Amino acid sequence: MNTPPSFDTLQTPSILVDRSRLEANIRSMQSVCDAHGVELRPHIKTHKMVEVARRQLEAGARGLTCAKLGEAEAMLPSGMRGMFVAHSLVDPRQAPRIRALAEQLDDLRLAVTSEAHAEVFLRLAALTGRKLSVMMAIDSGLGREGVRDPAAAPRIAALLARSPHVELRGFYTHEGNLYAAAPAEQASRIEEMLGRLCAVRDSIDRTLAIWPGCSVTARLIARMGAGRIQAVRPGAYVFGDLALSRTTGIMPSDTVALHVLATVVDKPEPGLALIDAGSKTFSSDRTPDGISALAIDGRDLAVVRVNEEHGYVRGKDVDTLQIGERIVFMPAHVCTVVNLTDEVVVMERGQVVDTWRVDARGRIR
């Protein structure tokens, strides 16, 4: 890029990425995985940026994970050779895009997420003209995609085995429900989940892979599952947010690498300040106690409500704020914040050093 702007010239809201913290988060997750012989296949939905994917791959990530074909296409310039599209693809119109991705990658994996989905997916697979590698989703308590009844898994495996268009390569699960589990319960819940996953796998073929692991569980799963699982797929760990630092306590707040810079634009009544960042910056996602974002400078300032372009700030320190003052906030949920911005401002020791495009922003197809 040309000379980066100085911090003082940034207009708000701006999304700030601390490059050192980001790179430290990438290294730290990779080193846990390396230490336990587990592959890291990060989910790129959190960052949607080639610049970040490239760093994950350089650090040792074995491949990437995404939800949509458009995200996979946007990440091709990262140099990735493997991508797992962890979503229930059904649309025959997408066959040419799947074929093109399969041709450009060494290892494209797609998902089969239930008995009902398997039948429709096989029709789509046939249209691609390729033999596709698939991972079977097992529900581990989130209640979203994934086989509920362990007895259904061998039936799905048999259905897949009869098709010349697919090859079952393993199993995955998204245990997003463990964001709500108490830290003391995590290990026992993970052990129970690993036991169920291995039982399903062993009922079909002991050589198949198991790929669980989100940001709350990945480190523990890599340690506890070493030798039993082959990969983990965390996403939000690259940046962190209130969900990971405050709700679950998984990431210390001084490792969180993405923040929102916003400006106080009004003080309409005592006890309330309005900022120029609302749901079109923070999204509508909130912490379980209803907070969209918290100031990171130690003052008691919380965004407790959002309209599209306004954030309502309350807290003990709100009456000390001045109109025009700029505040740095940690958002409740980082993935949805990134998806709402075209670019992020990259910071190093308080200085702007770069601007990165959010390459897969809005790639929801």
In the numeric block, which tokens belong to residue 203?
């009922």
Q: List binders of ligand PLP among 88-127 (CB under 6 A).
A: none
Task: With CB under 6 A as the rule, give the number of residues binding ligand PLP.
Answer: 13
Q: Which of 14, 56, 163, 215 binds ligand PLP (CB under 6 A)?
A: 215
* DSSP structure class, residue 292: S
Distance CA 10, CA 326 (A): 10
Instruction: Tell me if the bond preceding 252 is cis, omega within 30° of 0.
Output: no
* Alpha helices (runs of H) in the chain, residue ranges in sequence order: 19-35, 50-59, 69-75, 95-104, 115-128, 152-161, 183-204, 218-224, 242, 279-282, 334-338
Q: Which of 68, 117, 189, 233 binds ligand PLP (CB under 6 A)?
A: 233
Q: Which of 21, 29, 32, 43 binds ligand PLP (CB under 6 A)?
A: 43
In the numeric block, which tokens belong to residue 166?
């697919």
In the numeric block, which tokens belong to residue 231?
């990969």
Residue 13, strand partner residues: none
- Phi and psi at residue 315, to the nearest 5°: 140, 165
- One-letter identity of residue 211: W
Instruction: Tell me if the bond preceding 13 is cis, omega within 30° of 0.
Output: yes
Q: Are 80 and 41 in contact (CB under 8 A)?
A: no
Among 44, 47, 92, which residue's Cα sits nearest to residue 67? Answer: 44
Piece in contact with ligand PLP (CB under 6 A), picked from 189-197, 235-243, 249-257, 349-357? 235-243
Among 192, 188, 204, which residue's Cα sits nearest to residue 156? Answer: 204
Instruction: Report if residue 331 touches ligand PLP, rule: CB under 6 A.
Output: no
Nearer to ligand PLP, 178 or 301 (CB): 178
Please, what is the minimum distance in Å from the beta carbon of residue 172 to ligand PLP? 7
Instruction: Report if residue 174 touches ligand PLP, rule: CB under 6 A.
Output: yes
Q: Which of 52, 74, 75, 86 binds ligand PLP (CB under 6 A)?
A: 86
Please, what is the minimum distance in Å from the beta carbon of residue 233 to ligand PLP? 4
Piece in contact with ligand PLP (CB under 6 A), picked from 9-17, 116-124, 190-198, 232-240? 232-240
Nearer to ligand PLP, 247 or 341 (CB): 247
Nearer to ligand PLP, 126 or 340 (CB): 340
Please, what is the minimum distance in Å from the beta carbon of residue 324 to ligand PLP? 35
Which residues contribute to the site for ligand PLP (CB under 6 A)?
43, 46, 65, 86, 174, 176, 214-215, 233-237
